[in-house]
Amino acid sequence: MAPDVIDWAHLRRNLLLSTQRIELYNPSYWDKEPNEAEENLPHWAELTKKQLKKLPLSQDMIVLDVGAGTGRMTLPIAKRVKYVTALEPSEKALTELRKNARKQQIFNICYIKETLEELEITTSYDLVVASFSLFMFDIKNALLKMNALASRGVYLFMSASPWQDEELQRAVDGNISSWSDFIFIYNILYDAGITANVDIWDYEFKQSYTDLESAVSRLSQTRHIPSSKSEKLREYLRAKLIEENGKLWYNRKRKAAMIWWTSK
């Protein structure tokens, strides 16, 4: 490789390790998250609606949902296609997904408790979808595997905003040093011989907390903010959190990206 060529996959791996985001691909991390995801589900309705509009779904399709979670995308996709395979390594998330499917009387879902790396390529899917679930360490091979699994196309949804909110970084650290997922994924695909399409749009992300201290604790954990900066984080959140229906809400303007391509 020429010295002036960026190795996007290598750069992304280093960033995952340096920010400790690699833990997001550990099923044990998400085993702690299902209830929180369920509580905030109604506030992601507009984002979900926008994503569904962008998917070329039809009643004859078989779809693979990579990192299905509790079913935010799996369930509405299942209502529009022949069959969905929900690939989810977290036992607790998969349990919630099964419960949600039963509540909605949805029975055309196959549940697989595995990571994408563990999944054998024995079935071809019309579409492969991954929604905010691309935390794989070896992302290049993961993308190529999704391409191999899809007969019509691959549709990936991710953040087009910096991982760390710039306003939060400025308030806590006094500087900005962040990165956006989609630019890495696009360039890794391009280097692998796949010229993908990109669509970016605005949405509002809303997260609820029971009180100020739980917000400080949660953000400190997820954003790896040291205890020495807890007071700055507390001051920032005190000004930003909005009280509504007995909870405190952290509302952020974000950008989402869809990267997609036609397979084969």
Annotated domain spans of the chain? 8-163+176-204+255-262
Residue 36 has pLDDT above 60, yes or no: no
Per the structure block, which two tokens stand in for 106?
Answer: 């949805």
pLDDT range class, residue 42, cuts 50, 70, 90: low
Model-level pTM? 0.86
3-state SS class at 257: strand
Per the structure block, which two tokens stand in for 30?
Answer: 């998400």
pLDDT range class, residue 264, cuts 50, 70, 90: low
Cα 150–chain centre separation: 19
Residue 38 has pLDDT above 80, yes or no: no
Query: Rounded mean pLDDT of the chain?
Result: 87
C-alpha torsion 64→68→70→73, nearest 10: -60
User: What percent of the chain clears pLDDT 90, i.e. is strictly above it?
Assistant: 54
Distances 246 to 166, 208, 242 between C-alpha atoms, Å: 28, 10, 10
Query: Between 40 and 91, where is the model more confident?
Result: 91
Contact 181, 155 (CB under 8 A): no
Among 100, 157, 112, 114, residue whose Cα is nearest residue 25: 114
Q: Which CATH superfamily groups domain 8-163+176-204+255-262?
A: Vaccinia Virus protein VP39 (3.40.50.150)
Cα 236–chain centre separation: 25
